[in-house]
Structure 1
Amino acid sequence: MSTPSRLPGTVTTDHVFQVPLDHEAPEGERIEVYAREVVASGREHDELPWLLFLQGGPGGKANRPIGRDSWVDRALDDYRVLLLDQRGTGRSTPATRQTLARRGGPREQAEYLARFRADSIVRDAELIRRQLLGETGRWSLLGQSYGGFCTLTYLSIAPEGLREAFVTGGLAGLRSSAEDVYRAAYPRTARKNKAYYARYPQDVAAVQRIAAHLVERPAELPDGGLLTVQAFQGLGMLLGTGGGAHVLHYLLEEAWVEGVEGPVLSDTFLAGVQSHLSFAQGPLYAVMHESIYGQRSVDAGGTEWAAERVRKEFPEFDAEAALSAGQAVYFTGEMIYPALFETDPALRPLRETAQLLAERTDWPDLYDPARLAANQVPVVAAIYHDDMYVDTADSLATADAVAGTRAWVTNEWEHDGLRVSGGAVLDRLIKMARGEI
């Protein structure tokens, strides 16, 4: 535990924990997991309930507060907050192209990363809980997006550690395979594209022009990455957030400048694209993404690049066909394609590792439907209507399947509602848990 630091309205303390790489072999190799404790100024010594925060991802580190900002402001009214950098992220023992090279070749790297899913994250949290709160202490849990997936795993394997659970945009389908997930995701993503082009109809032509250029001449990004038309379509990740459509529009506005030989894609545009598409700051998101859906009882085969395979069922996402037909070019969403491991410098060294993970067929189950049906931990969840990242139908079915769950379905916010609502989303969930709503 470090010396506490003081930020506006808060006191923060660093914690570093030693946990087993493989919780089935607790005497074996150990890694570090970092967490930041945050408490309101003047309440450092109060007996406050703990709230553990699990960030979205996979591969996303916890937010870095600069005081009483975002949802943390609301949480600090009632809780001592623990912001966990899930294993492999942030200040926890990192898993990147640089560090994974020390593990050996692709096979050794894949075996290592197979222990970086929700079940391991939850077991890390349980060790941390016992160290901070004692064997019988229980804490509250807030899971955003993938953090909500982890919450369902927590309720499946260690509900005794929880007093209540809040989930925002993260009720996963308990029995949904990776194929199921993407077969539902492409139509949602198409709707987001239609809404985007309805708001900015001038961008139909703007996107067509850029896409046509990239088909002929993929552009080099400042980091040495390659902007292909498929990579360009990945900017659709923005369309699932509250202000993402505007961010995308303004990015496109500065796409072109006049060079020596005529119009060229501007450095401003290419740098902006790189900032949204590069996985340098979160490679596990790409490497591990489809594995978060792997469960041997749901799909005995590997995930096998499900997003790529299912995409063929939705020809409206074929950019070259759209250009030939004079139609709008659709952006994709959070789909991860094998081509990204050719075009992104942060991912290139992990190409074979990712392939081995895609081929893996023995993923343990992450959810226990029977135990969830008998759940006794109060659960309150925000389900965002037509969430681009998590299927609403899956979320509603899971809310019904997990005993003690109260769901709030809203179209007021997109998937990032927890972060951008100024604490309003969390405030409502807390009031629901207390029976005030």
Structure 2
Amino acid sequence: METLDVSGARRACEQALERTKGAAARSTMITVTAERARREADDSDGRRRDGALLSPLDGVPIVWKDLFDVEGTVTTCGSASLLERPPAPADGALVRRIASLGMVTVGKTNLSEFAFSGLGINQRFGTPVNPVDAALVPGGSSAGSAVAVTAGIAPLAVGTDTSGSVRVPAAFCGCVGYRASHNRYGENDFRALSPTLDSVGLMARTVDDIRLLDRLLAGTSHRQPARPRVVIPAGEWVDDCTPAIRAAFESAVDSLRGGDVRVTTVRLASMERAQHLIDTYGTIVGADAYAAYGRLLGSAGIEPATARRLARNAGAQEAVEPLRREMRTLRRQFAAELTGSVLLCPTVRHEPPRIADLLGSEATYDAVNASTLRTTMVLSYLGACGVTLPMTGRAPAGMLVSAPAGDDDVVLAAASEFERLTSCPSASAARREAAWPS
């Protein structure tokens, strides 16, 4: 290997590329863009020497969920059925914007096929290794993005979140995951699963790293809002959690109260009505997924679990019309019920399941997938933005801070404070463990 600038972007780039080859990163990447990464890192080091950095994140490695077009690479959507499509002729809009900040694209990360699962299992490209325990699912669909952050490949990763696809893997893998409000960074330009519910999501080891990238992309000042009241939703969102998850959540809430955060438990009619509609009529994401990919049923390469769930939603467009009719009303009601508050609940109600326990039974696989997404899915339907933070406990788990659509600055500021009060990893510790130019 050539001699590197040990204090700059090229060193961080080489560290990131080397980590893509390690056992901890097995099946994390679908494509590694080494040539591009080295070119972008060298350009960054040149700007650093000239005192002309493009942004505070100039030279920082980043990875992309393989739903985004990166020039010269095939956008697989995690499916063997799309491997023969031509490479993208150009970067997508968000990829271009992040490149304009000087960030270094290391590659594209693995995901649940078509982003249509909360478990992160991928039988074609392999399942990314959960950093806590390789026997456990990493969560999905942005599994590779979460593992890339925790394995130190890149300190920042871009995913997508439809029903929980950033928040769930972040919770299961022990990092921070942020679902932005719909179109916060402009019109979505990744391969859609559900245009109704899709949002961009960011992953990092700390909230402040996410806030920095969000500020650069959204153009907000991130003025510190007044400390919000914290609302815990009464009912199944906490009551149905396993004992271990509930204990970790109660401990985190105690830490917040110890930091003089006002916490109350409130019954939210909007959440209860939304959950009733989903339980009665099915999911919008299921209907939209069939509209997007149902034509591929019977094609070679589609995984059995994906095909089964697509086929089940063949007639769902008409079935979910009651959800579509009430969605705007319920989103307005949710915002009114939370005025001046953020919502707090466990991200997932149970511990990450074992991969081996899911692959032998279709019924178990589908039931666990549904339970994994149950909390985040209803919040997506209500349009919520949210940040999941790691909770300390016997198993990897997340505490989810949510707010109505458009209240991203509020939810990010609250999450940053809650991260401090619950003793999550510091930014300095995270940056020592992940590739970051110095």
On whether the aligned pair clears a TM of 0.5, the verdict is: no
TM-score for both structures, normalised by structure 1: 0.34
TM-score for both structures, normalised by structure 2: 0.34
Larger radius of gyration: 1
